[in-house]
Structure 1
Amino acid sequence: MSETTLHFFCGKAGAGKSTLAQGLAQAEGAMLISEDVWMARLYGDQLQTFDDYVRLSRRLKTVVGPLVVELLRSGRSVVLDFPANNRASRAWFRSVIDEADVQHMLHYVERTDAACLQQIVRRNAERPEGSHHLTPEQFAQISSFFEPPEVAEAFDVRKR
């Protein structure tokens, strides 16, 4: 069995983070916790705007953070499919890592905007659980907040 690890992801919308998370959780025998699924099941129609997402995501993290710490402390690896797409969001992951005192891997899924938009078209048609219809304009708005991981943040990063 591999060492207890928190896996998490950085990449623009449509980059393939959730697909990678699912495969990694299965391959590692790790617990998968998906923000999109939890948000859809808990908040459903309350998610109308980007501001709604930000507010409800913060609320969800107050529940998921302690759960993840407990899972990690018990020796269970976790694949946390929550976006680590800017310094502020990655600070939350750092707090979880530090509290649980475990290994981590930040999977940086780097794709062109064109590749992301192509995947978003497919996802909009397929609508997997937790997904939301995303327009090119919404992709641009969300992407404007994106910050790739920096060495100074001191994460173990694996480019994908």
Structure 2
Amino acid sequence: MNTKSTLFFFCGKMAAGKSTLARQIAKEYNAILVVEDELLVQLYPDEIVDIPSYIKYSPRLRTAISSHVSDLLSRGISVVLDFSANTINQRKWFRGLFEKANAAHRLYFINATDDLCKRQLKERSKNQSESAFASDTVFEEITKYFQPPSEDEQFNIVVYDRS
């Protein structure tokens, strides 16, 4: 196993604190931080306006960066991916990256209550010009797909309990 590099990734409901933790981990481990939301805004400005458009464009981004991330990991460079790992299928993509690079991994699971997430979502939306994803309705719609990681998936899980 390539112990010189680690892939760090995150599971948690919308507004649970994944991006904040991702920035902290990147700084702590001197790792490359790649932020899905920032890349999607740059690549597809004004095109991601709802859940179906996110579902359309997000896999394209993942495909585009997969080889690059695996290459960084295989060269001993740790990577923090601030991308959603909230479903079993999404987590399969992360597994493919660290297995291809023979790198270590850590899945940070942020366990937060719906109420906490909704409060943080409202607070976050005050500071953003785009608040299309900042409603309780959107939170409920996205949360329907949420699947916490299980032991069966055999990830190295670090739990942050915020409930």
Tell me the TM-score range normalised by the shorter chain: over 0.9
Superposed CA deviations along residues 14-40 of structure 1, whole A, max 9, x for unmatched, are 100000001110111100000000001
Aligned residue in 2 for 1:86: 87
Higher strand share: 2
- Say whether 1:11 aligns with 2:12: yes
Aligned residue in 2 for 1:150: 150
Distance 1:94 1:145, change over 3 A: same
Higher helix share: 1
Shift of 1:6: 0.2
- Tell me the SS of whatever aligns to 2:21: helix
Q: Would you say the 8 A contact 2:49–2:132 is kept in 1?
A: no
Distance 2:87 2:8 in 1: 16
Matches within 5 A, 1:111-130: 111-127=112-128
Shift of 1:48: 1.5
Q: Would you say the 8 A contact 1:36–1:131 is kept in 2?
A: no
Unaligned residue ranges in structure 2 (runs of 5+): none
Aligned residue in 1 for 2:47: 46
Range moving further from structure 2, 135-144 or 61-70: 61-70
Shift of 1:131: 7.5
Shift of 1:51: 0.8
TM-score (norm 2): 0.93
Shift of 1:63: 1.0
% identical aligned pairs: 37
Unaligned residue ranges in structure 1 (runs of 5+): none
Q: Which runs of 4+ in 1 moved over 3 A?
A: 130-133
Aligned residue in 2 for 1:135: 135
Shift of 1:141: 0.3
Shift of 1:11: 0.1
Letter in 2 for 1:60: L
Superposed CA deviations along residues 41-77 of structure 1, whole A, max 9, x for unmatched, are 1101011121110110000001111111011111110
- Tell me the SS of whatever aligns to 1:33: strand
